[in-house]
Amino acid sequence: MEEMFCFQCQETMNETACTVQGMCGKSAACANLQDALIRASQYAALYDTASDEQLMNNLFMTITNANFSTADIRRAIEKTYTGKSVEELTREGCLKNRKETVRSLQELILYGLKGLCAYLSHAAVLGFRKAELSSFVRSTLVYLLEDHEQKEYLTLLDKTGEMGVQAMALLDEANTATYGQPEITTVSLETGSRPGILVSGHDLHDLKELLEQSRSQGIDIYTHGEMLPAHSYPEFKKYEHFKGNYGNAWWRQNEEFEAFNGPILMTTNCIIPVKDSYRQRIFTTGVVGYDGLEHIEAVNGRKDFRCIIELAKHCPAPQQLETGSVTGGFAHAQVMALQDQIVEAVKNGDIRQFIVMAGCDGRHASRSYYTDFARALPKDTVILTAGCAKYRYLKLDLGMINGIPRVLDAGQCNDSYSLVLIAEALKEAFGLQDINELPILYNIAWYEQKAVIVLLALLHLGVKNIHLGPTLPAFLSPEVVQWLKESYGIKTIQEVEKDMENFGITKREPSYGDMTMAELLKLDEGMEDVLHEAGFHCLGCPSAQLESLRDACELHALNVDEVCAAIREYRHE
């Protein structure tokens, strides 16, 4: 039996490595070819035998759950470098003989580079490129061919994070210049009576082409997984047949693709081993590959989706999985438009803390932690999220604070860049010197290599005390883990209650505006006089006592902030 060695994702076997078959489903042959493709890309960067686009797509192709096709990977190797056989390249890419700490640092940089290339690929499709970033990819691939001093790797790690920030900024520019600034949008989770096509992955350009080609065809288009944020871009709102979002995060696709009934288009990761029940109606494009599935290639920069559209017309409508809707569109421009409202809520105590819970979702049962954590947060906290980790809490009814949802979804995993800009804007608004002085905590879930580049970007920007879970990466050696803890305060997660203590998050009484009149009257004997003086004269009425102070103020045309200030003054707060 062919052996393999892969530990690049969070679900790696026994938190050590997959050595027979990948937990993701890839075969040992596929894993070894991916190693060979990386080595071929390194030689190609050294000898200049492949284009920037080829190198970028090669690394993107090896991201977890992107390409399972051994034929695709062999073709990519042949296009990239022919100076050595696949077998030689595979042997050279083996990790067994490397020193543990050197290997760990090399892999951390390489996986960050993979995530970087994914973002560069999306930007390039929209015509946005940056020579400095392409040059960095090449030089880093060459650098990783040889072993170096440990301190040199640490310098390169920070540089990789810096390039990650630039790549996310480039993709943000590409997306917003092409599709407009995301705006607050309510997205339906329900289905219609017409046949549909389900689009999964991250490639907005593919979605746009499909929407154009499927106009007036009697079918609807739905998003899945990380494609959900597309609904918040103004450009996509002109399509009447852009129906809503279907399903959840990538790992639930087997049951959801079965129930959808119509064709599915996989534009990027994550694809998982395909079931026979929907094998005849799932298509791949871009870097995605799976042996036996029809692949839609671009011809002169355009893709022809007619085969998918025609198949959809003969399929039943999707089976409804959920009712209701979700709200998104809270990228940096939209949140900055609400900045005054948010700053005021922080200053008056209605918002005490922001929790960044961005990142990836996955299959591990331990990831229920993130749902439990979100539920346990006090009502004066706001979650900032991006990536498919959102599916663990986006559909919970966590309420609002002064009209601001307690879950602000910035978008796809690369839109973690928005969270950085939001933090920087808040730092300026509060006149702080250091981003770590903000009332923002970081509890990030990771799964694959795009999360690695997001992490390195945050570390480059000086963010400290990130909690990373549900487990720390297996590719980090004990020495590297210790360095991350000492230098950046990196921690992993524990039980929800313990982490609430670790974060310094404690339950407290709701803000006065959210308390009922009855609750306020019980606080102090003199509270009735305070409320009378503020303008309330029906405090004995049972129905009035059930109202929140906020609702009562609205009913009596009183300013809730002024009443709360009077209460705080009376209680010497």
Look-up: residue for tokens 């524990």? 494
> What is the CA 400 to chain-centroid distance, rounded?
22
> What is the CA 320 to chain-centroid distance, rounded?
25
Other C-beta atoms closer than 10 Å to the C-beta of 14 total 9
243 is in an annotated binding site: no
Angstrom distance (rounded) from CA 381 to CA 573: 20
388 is in an annotated binding site: yes
564 is in an annotated binding site: no
538 is in an annotated binding site: no
114 is in an annotated binding site: no
Q: What is residue 555's three-state secondary structure?
A: helix
The three-point CA angle 342-521-564 to 5° equals 25
Contact 194, 201 (CB under 8 A): no
Other C-beta atoms closer than 10 Å to the C-beta of 439 total 14
244: left (phi over 0), alpha (psi -120 to 50) or beta: left
240 is in an annotated binding site: no
Q: Indicate the residue type of 68.
A: F
448 is in an annotated binding site: yes
Give the DSSP per-residue string, 223-236: EEGGGGGGGGSGGG
360 is in an annotated binding site: yes
Which residue intervals of 49-149 are DSSP H helices? 52-61, 70-80, 86-92, 100-125, 131-143
553 is in an annotated binding site: no
Q: Residues 546-570, buried b or exposed e (16+ Cβ, 10 A)?
A: ebbbbbbbeeeeeebbebbeebeeb
Angstrom distance (rounded) from CA 544 to CA 562: 19
* C-alpha torsion sign, points 214, 215, 217, 222: positive
Annotated binding site for [4Fe-4S] cluster: 6, 9, 18, 24
Annotated binding site: 6, 9, 18, 24, 202, 226, 270, 360, 388, 413, 448, 450
Annotated binding site for hybrid [4Fe-2O-2S] cluster: 202, 226, 270, 360, 388, 413, 448, 450
